[in-house]
């Protein structure tokens, strides 16, 4: 295919001439030939340089154990790199190569979407059909309100079964039929009226696979093979119904601080048509080329246009793919089609720039976070600076914890973060990895690590959430709830935090139920001024860089988190500031905590 021409740098360029004398009377052709040769050499050298940069960047992630898999990178229709890194099976020592097959997780969704569109072209269904037309047993209160279009664009409002509390922890290894998976959430209240909002839902894509089976009389795997995979000659792509990796397939692994271990088992019926395909980097490149660049799968070009158009006017998700324009370096409005995926032991990312002959395919079998790598490779493809990966601070601190204890390790952490800020990855995720190493056998050590971290950095909700779980496991339910309350003081209205409090049987403070909203600077500026409750106590409200802050006489300033244009939460507390705005003027601010209210009238203009 023209999109996948392999880049070949000139290894040598031999020009025969010897002592030959060129005619004097017309030497211009000699200069034209020389210029062409110089241009060819420069082009070849540049291609070689770009290929080396791409491979070197991939290797820098692999060397830090941040990538273990296979990659394929195409630039201007030419393959810059195609190959593997690390092991496909750590126990057997088998290597990852370009032809290794990986589970691609949610990249499956674009194949399922393409299958539905092909079945529409065959006259077997329409994307405007309500679900009840094909699944007669679907609950009647939803059967006519939800259409296939809603399922394809994640605008159905259906809750995702993978988000059900405990499901992926306790039920993922259990076999299910498609109907049983769908039934897990089909009677749950919709998150919103179908077609009005976006909420990612694996339930919707399982339902689509089930519908494909109903209208074709084939299994999902057979229908996908007949209508999608065979027409594009994707012989290394298919439905992974195996419990153990067959020959040529990578095994899934989880990376910890000291090595790799086999990933948790998942029954193939659980991800099903939402996430259980396997593929290779080469097949995914052929898929992206055949579908998004050459439009070779669908009979009508309009079908591809519908697939790559956002389902909501303000959205960025089409049918099974993310679609948007982005600025890359000095390049503006670059059209991008992409999707990522993650499943026990595997990560995947496919990013396509269809108007520029560029694509990135990353498949990983060690549960790596591929986001930083795909962003860096994108920057390299567009001639921009790529962010280099940093070593893990968790791996550096582990031997210190084991030899000298938590206090010594976290003291070193604080010192290094202050004196060597660019040397390591100091993100909260690293602290979670360090604590996670001790969670099962030494939970007290895990708690001590996390408590030491939040003593200096109280905001990250993931740290608080982990502490809540650890305290609950230790039987300290009050401490478990306290950490979630603290998290809500910095991230009010966060649904998962509110759910967690409910699981613990605790009602949150009403002030913590309201989420943060965006309030424009023109509205925030109306609140700036001084408010005084008595001669000795003045509250000064200021605005800087779009952030509203307040300070009482003689005290440090604190941030105000907007929950409405007139209601704000004091950062890190349950105290609300409610401004009384009339005709564009804030005449007073009430400071509210529980059932207590102090009113500060405005002074001056």
Could you read off the pLDDT of 391-412 as tens digits, one per residue? 999 999 999 999 999 999 999 9
Task: Give the HSE-up count for residue 425: Cα atoms under 13 Å, Cβ half-sphere.
Answer: 21
Is the Cβ–Cβ distance between 483 and 471 less than 8 Å? yes
Residues 6+ away with beta carbon under 8 Å from 229: 111, 235, 237, 238
At 404 the three-state DSSP class reads: helix
The dihedrals phi and psi of 380, each to the nearest 5 degrees, come to -60, -40
Is the Cβ–Cβ distance between 375 and 47 less than 8 Å? no
pLDDT category of residue 20 using cuts at 50, 70 and 90: very low
Question: For residue 6, what pLDDT is reported?
Answer: 41
Is the Cβ–Cβ distance between 599 and 588 less than 8 Å? yes
Can you tell me the mean pLDDT for 99-114?
A: 98
Q: How many helices (H) and strands (E) does the chain have?
A: 19, 22
pLDDT category of residue 12 using cuts at 50, 70 and 90: very low
Q: Where are the domains of the chain?
A: 102-325+336-350, 393-509, 521-603
Element (H, E) at 568: strand 567-570
CA nearest to 264, candidates 362, 124, 367, 370 = 367
Question: Taking each helix axis from N to C terminus, what angle separates 443-456 and 428-438, rounded to the nearest 10 degrees?
Answer: 160
Q: Provide the pairing of β-strand 5-6 with 78-84.
A: parallel
Can you tell me the mean pLDDT for 100-121?
A: 98
Bridge partners of 347, per DSSP, are 342, 364
Instruction: Tell the residue number behind the tokens 């207590």, with chain if given.
Output: 596
pTM for the predicted model, two decimal places? 0.85
Q: Which long-range contacts (CB under 8 A, 24 or more apart) does 573-577 make?
A: 573/489, 574/485, 574/489, 574/509, 574/511, 574/512, 575/511, 576/511, 577/550
User: Which pLDDT tens digit goes with each residue over 238-285?
Assistant: 999 877 778 899 999 999 999 999 999 999 999 999 999 999 999 999
Question: For residue 35, what pLDDT is reported?
Answer: 53
User: Which pLDDT tens digit goes with each residue over 438-486?
Assistant: 999 999 999 999 999 999 888 899 999 999 999 999 999 999 999 999 9
pLDDT category of residue 229 using cuts at 50, 70 and 90: very high
Is the Cβ–Cβ distance between 347 and 367 less than 8 Å? yes
CATH architecture group of domain 521-603: Beta Barrel (2.40)
Write a three-state SS string for 109-162. Answer: HHHHHHHHHHHHHCCCCCCCCEHHHCCCCCCHHHHCCCEHHHHHCCCCCCCCHH
Question: For residue 42, what pLDDT is reported?
Answer: 52
Question: For residue 231, what pLDDT is reported?
Answer: 96
Can you tell me the mean pLDDT for 314-332?
A: 94
pLDDT category of residue 573 using cuts at 50, 70 and 90: very high
User: Which pLDDT tens digit goes with each residue over 151-205?
Assistant: 999 999 999 999 998 899 999 999 999 999 999 999 899 999 999 999 999 999 9
Percent composition of the chain: helix, strand, coil (DSSP 3-state, to 5):
40, 20, 40
CA distance 449 to 406: 6
Answer with the residue of higher pLDDT: 4 or 417.
417
- Which CATH number does the domain 393-509 belong to among 1.10.287.4070, 2.40.50.140, 1.10.1040.10, 1.25.40.10? 1.25.40.10
Question: For residue 31, what pLDDT is reported?
Answer: 52
Mean of pLDDT over the chain:
91
CA nearest to 284, candidates 340, 325, 326 = 340
User: Which pLDDT tens digit goes with each residue over 356-392?
Assistant: 999 999 999 998 899 999 999 999 999 999 999 999 9
Residue 471 tokens read as: 């305290």
Question: For residue 595, what pLDDT is reported?
Answer: 82
What fold does the segment set 102-325+336-350 form as a domain? Beta-lactamase (3.40.710)
């Amino acid at each position: 295919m023209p999109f996948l021409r392999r880049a070949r740098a000139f290894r040598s360029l031999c020009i025969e001439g010897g002592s030959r004398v060129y005619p004097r009377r017309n030497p211009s052709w000699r200069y034209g030939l020389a210029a062409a040769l110089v241009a060819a050499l420069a082009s070849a050298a540049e291609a070689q340089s770009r290929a080396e940069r791409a491979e070197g960047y991939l290797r820098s992630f692999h060397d830090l154990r941040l990538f273990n898999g296979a990659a394929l990178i195409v630039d201007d229709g030419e393959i810059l790199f195609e190959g593997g890194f690390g092991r496909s099976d750590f126990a057997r020592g088998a290597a990852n190569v370009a032809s290794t097959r990986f589970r691609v997780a949610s990249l499956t969704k674009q194949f399922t979407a393409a299958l539905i569109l092909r079945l529409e072209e065959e006259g077997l269904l329409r994307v405007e059909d309500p679900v009840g037309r094909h699944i007669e047993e679907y609950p009647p209160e939803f059967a006519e309100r939800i259409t296939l279009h809603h399922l394809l664009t994640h605008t159905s409002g259906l809750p995702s079964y993978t988000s059900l509390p405990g499901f992926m922890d306790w039920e993922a290894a259990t076999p299910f039929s498609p109907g049983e998976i769908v039934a897990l959430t089909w009677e749950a209240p919709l998150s919103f009226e179908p077609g009005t909002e976006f909420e990612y839902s694996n339930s919707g894509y399982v339902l689509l696979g089930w519908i494909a089976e109903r209208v074709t009389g084939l299994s999902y795997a057979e229908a996908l093979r007949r209508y999608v995979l065979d027409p594009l000659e994707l012989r290394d792509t298919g439905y992974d119904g195996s419990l153990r990796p067959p020959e040529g397939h990578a095994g899934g692994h989880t990376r910890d601080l000291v090595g790799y271990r086999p990933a948790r088992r998942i029954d193939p019926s659980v991800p099903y048509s939402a996430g259980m395909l396997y593929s290779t980097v080469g097949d995914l490149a052929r898929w992206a080329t055949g579908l998004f660049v050459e439009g070779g799968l669908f009979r009508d070009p309009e079908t591809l246009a519908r697939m790559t158009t956002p389902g909501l006017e303000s959205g960025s998700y089409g049918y099974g793919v993310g679609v948007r324009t982005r600025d890359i370096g000095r390049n503006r409005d670059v059209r991008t089609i992409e999707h990522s995926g993650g499943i026990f032991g595997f990560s995947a990312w496919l990013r396509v720039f269809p108007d520029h002959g560029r694509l990135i395919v990353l498949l990983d079998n060690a549960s790596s976070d591929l986001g930083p790598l795909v962003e860096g490779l994108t920057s390299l493809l567009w001639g921009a600076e790529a962010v280099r990966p940093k070593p893990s601070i968790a791996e550096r601190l582990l031997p210190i914890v084991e030899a000298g204890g938590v206090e010594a390790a976290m003291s070193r952490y604080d010192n290094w973060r202050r004196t060597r800020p660019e040397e390591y990855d100091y993100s909260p995720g690293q602290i979670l990895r360090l604590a996670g190493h001790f969670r099962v056998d030494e939970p007290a050590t895990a708690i001590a690590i996390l408590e030491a971290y939040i003593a200096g950095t109280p905001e990250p909700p993931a740290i608080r959430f982990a502490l809540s779980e650890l305290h609950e496991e230790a039987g300290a339910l009050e401490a478990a709830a306290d950490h979630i309350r603290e998290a809500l003081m910095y991230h009010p209205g966060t649904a998962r935090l509110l759910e967690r409090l409910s699981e613990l049987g605790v009602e949150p403070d009403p002030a913590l139920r309201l989420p943060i909203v965006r309030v424009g600077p023109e509205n925030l500026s109306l609140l700036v001024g001084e408010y005084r409750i008595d001669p000795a106590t003045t509250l000064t409200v200021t605005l800087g860089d779009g952030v509203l802050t307040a300070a009482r006489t003689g005290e440090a300033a604190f941030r105000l988190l907007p929950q409405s244009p007139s209601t704000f939460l004091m950062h890190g507390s349950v105290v609300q500031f409610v401004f009384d705005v009339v005709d564009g003027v804030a005449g007073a601010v009430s400071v509210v905590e529980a059932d207590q209210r102090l009113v500060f009238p405005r002074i001056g203009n």
